[in-house]
Amino acid sequence: MTENFGYIDIILLAMLAGFIFLRLRNVLGKGADDIPIKPRFNENKDSFSINPTNLKKDKENFDKKDFIKGAEAAYEMIIGAFAKGDKNSLKPLLTENLYREFSKIIDERKTKKITSELTFIGIKETKIAKIDKEDTHYKIKTKFTSEIVNCLKNNSGMVIEGDPEKIKTVTDVWIFEKDLKNKNPTWYLTELSSDGDEKETKH
């Protein structure tokens, strides 16, 4: 590989990292209007299990309730692990390429001595936006609307972004994928879609 080609690779990786960083900042609450903190939703998400048993040849056989339950569990686990910088928890949930980008952002945050504090309040709504199928390979675009409390602090403990006393409402779109030929039941997060958004929520 030539030095010039390696340089181009570095630029492309930097661009990808920037995109992932922006999408993760959306998930962690950047830009949504603030509301006072209230008690957590009564949500039970004890484990990650996106394993719809009825997903066969026909999309009509897809068990949406089972998928949504597992997707919500994965959503909470992923944003929590990212905030903590927990790569070990992230790795089994992401495709290899996406895991590399998450890892780069976590390492950069560690180098700059920035910590992220996250309180997951709950998911208000989850919708399946689109199901794409090619042979036995499925990609499912899933739209989440959630409430979180998040802030970033520097090495002195000073808040540099966000507010630890406010809840933010965030809407984001994630894409999960799975090849049904694979006996592994896990649906992997493959993309943070650019058509996610943030919206105001009034209570």
CATH number at residue 128: 3.10.450.240
Is 203 part of a structural domain of the chain?
no
Is 34 part of a structural domain of the chain?
yes
Is 200 part of a structural domain of the chain?
no
Best CA proximity match to 182, nearest among 76, 77, 50? 50
> Count of domains in the chain?
1
For residue 30 the two structure tokens come to 């950047």
Is 65 part of a structural domain of the chain?
yes
Is 197 part of a structural domain of the chain?
no
Token match 């309040």: residue? Answer: 121
Report the predicted TM-score, pTM, of the whole model to 2 decimal places. Answer: 0.69
Token match 């990292």: residue? Answer: 17
| In contact, 176 and 50? CB cutoff 8 Å | yes
Write out the residue range of the structural domain in which residue 109 sits: 3-192
Q: CA-based Rg of the chain, rounded to a whole angstrom?
A: 18
Residue-level pLDDT at 198? 52
Phi, psi of 136 (to 5 degrees): -100, 10
Is 11 part of a structural domain of the chain?
yes
29 CB neighbour count, 10 Å cutoff: 25
| In contact, 51 and 66? CB cutoff 8 Å | yes
Is 199 part of a structural domain of the chain?
no
- For β-strands 34-36 and 115-134, DSSP reports them as unpaired
- pLDDT beneath 70, residues of the chain: 1-62, 193-203
Is 120 part of a structural domain of the chain?
yes
